[in-house]
Structure 1
């Protein structure tokens, strides 16, 4: 069999490193969860979210969606770990500061493009009219989400989200050079855990947990209405830069409209909405 056409590709195909990355991500996630749950505050929040998940799983449409994504999720992950990451990884020695810079670069670049996709494709951001609102509407059935609701989404959104993340790693690796396996492991864990935490029902609002409380609260503001802001997922940086921060009263024109309705009805803040 003539492999001449594929030889240049196969030369840089590090499937072993991709396998190491997959094992490392699983190991760090499991060990990290065990260590985190040794802290009482995290244990209490975990119990709160687990109880809500059990309650939601009694609803047929919710359980069906979770089964759907358990079926499709592994397919997308295999595609990434077989078709993308082997071209982006190295085990060569790198200084720790370079790894930190690479982690920050991946997360910030991904978050910028996710902000654009979330605002202009998944919502009616005013530019494209929200052509994929029907896809994202599945996720927004949960007005008061819990941790598990991070995965209550349409499979198309799963593919787009993971594809955007993997595409960010691949694109940056062409510019910055291959990323160390440890860099990709830590970045993947941070990416997934931040997305999970944003959906947490989180009540502990004291030092040193206040940032976690803020991030959860801001994402719940987004879920409360389909017209809410806070479109970024890793930080609130791009919402701050582009004027879409939502502290519970909407943003821009939606903020004015919500306040006008509140004033007309005599309600000074938006009414609480029930979970989906």
Structure 2
């Protein structure tokens, strides 16, 4: 495919789409029914249906009977961990193999023209981004993923929380399945905004932002604290009346669903004339500019709070205005502090 038919590349080799990034036409006023109907298939395909089916597969083919899950036992816990690790290796690795190792589509549709393997940095273990990202994913991410999963499944199995059966609650659970991405987006935005606060950013979130040029293995490459709270979106199903399969879907949506935002390409080519949209541009801009696009665009939180960047020149100007205002506030605060210290010294 000719990526220049869809966007432009600058002198550095970075590609950007012709159309500015936009949020989903869901929470818009006035409503846009035709635009919503055109967008609706993207709410399900290809990712959301895949993550939902994976939750069903885990329930029927990986997990034991609920009676077994009432108690901790190495057998079923290790089997679950192995299934999670193999699935992450295959799913994340498929994108990595195609786009970053074989480079089957070169840098077509790649936002950042360079590949992480071409750049070394002391910010990473062994100065290699992919090595660092994989160590963090498998070293802390997968154990935390599995630990959260085990706790929530035990809660359902022991009756600590309500377990709604599909046969008795089909409509409610169907609606809940539709709301899983919305729960994730709300959870992610609130968490993401919080960990950009100075001390938390320095000690926790900066680990993830070391990957300025994200690739598939960057998806879950986080500080363990961030991994716990990010994957902890599954805990919402201990509060909301739910079903363990719905809880698994919520977890898989967060875990496997981190891939699209970090794949680094706007489109993944499937053939000469076909490709799948990654919907990664909004989050790529966050990695590029740090203080924009704290959400993924399903809910227009960033538009509501004035932190949205659509990748256009106008978006760039708006971001610079915010930076200048922030700089002015910090300078004024520093001056006030300096003035107070001078007054106290004089007294």
User: Which TM bucket (shorter chain)?
Assistant: 0.5 to 0.7
Distance 1:190 1:109, change over 3 A: closer
Distance 1:241 1:251, change over 3 A: farther
Give ranges in structure 2 of 5+ residues lacking alignment.
1-65, 104-114, 158-162, 326-347
1:161 counterpart = 2:224: no
Question: How many residue pairs are counted as aligned between the two chains?
Answer: 225
The whole-number CA distance in structure 2 between the counterparts of 1:46 and 1:66 is 14
Aligned residue in 2 for 1:248 = 311
Structure 1 residue 22: deviation in Å? 4.8
Aligned residue in 1 for 2:208 = 139
Which of the two has higher C-alpha Rg? 2
The whole-number CA distance in structure 1 between the counterparts of 2:295 and 2:257 is 11
The whole-number CA distance in structure 2 between the counterparts of 1:153 and 1:88 is 28
Distance 1:26 1:17, change over 3 A: farther
Structure 1 residue 220: deviation in Å? 0.8
Deviations 1:238-273 (A, max 9, x none): 22343322113658963425799xxxxxxxxxxxxx
User: 2:205 touches 2:226 (CA, 8 Å); kept in 1?
Assistant: yes
Structure 1 residue 232: deviation in Å? 1.6
Q: For 1:131, what is the secondary structure of its paired residue?
A: helix
Q: Structure 1 length as normaliser, TM-score?
A: 0.62
User: 2:165 touches 2:243 (CA, 8 Å); kept in 1?
Assistant: no
User: 2:307 touches 2:319 (CA, 8 Å); kept in 1?
Assistant: no
The whole-number CA distance in structure 1 between the counterparts of 2:275 and 2:218 is 21
Deviations 1:188-233 (A, max 9, x none): 33333331110012243899867x34x2111111111222x11124
The whole-number CA distance in structure 1 between the counterparts of 2:185 and 2:215 is 22
C-alpha RMSD of matched pairs (Å): 4.3
Give ranges in structure 1 of 5+ residues lacking alignment.
1-11, 38-42, 124-128, 261-276
Matches within 5 A, 1:98-137: 98-119=172-193, 121-123=194-196, 129-134=197-202, 135-137=204-206
The whole-number CA distance in structure 1 between the counterparts of 2:224 and 2:322 is 33
The whole-number CA distance in structure 2 between the counterparts of 1:256 and 1:48 is 36
1:82 counterpart = 2:142: no
Matches within 5 A, 1:248-267: 248=311, 254-256=319-321
Deviations 1:88-122 (A, max 9, x none): 47483346554332123333223213212212x22
Distance 1:180 1:200, change over 3 A: same
The whole-number CA distance in structure 2 between the counterparts of 1:143 and 1:72 is 21
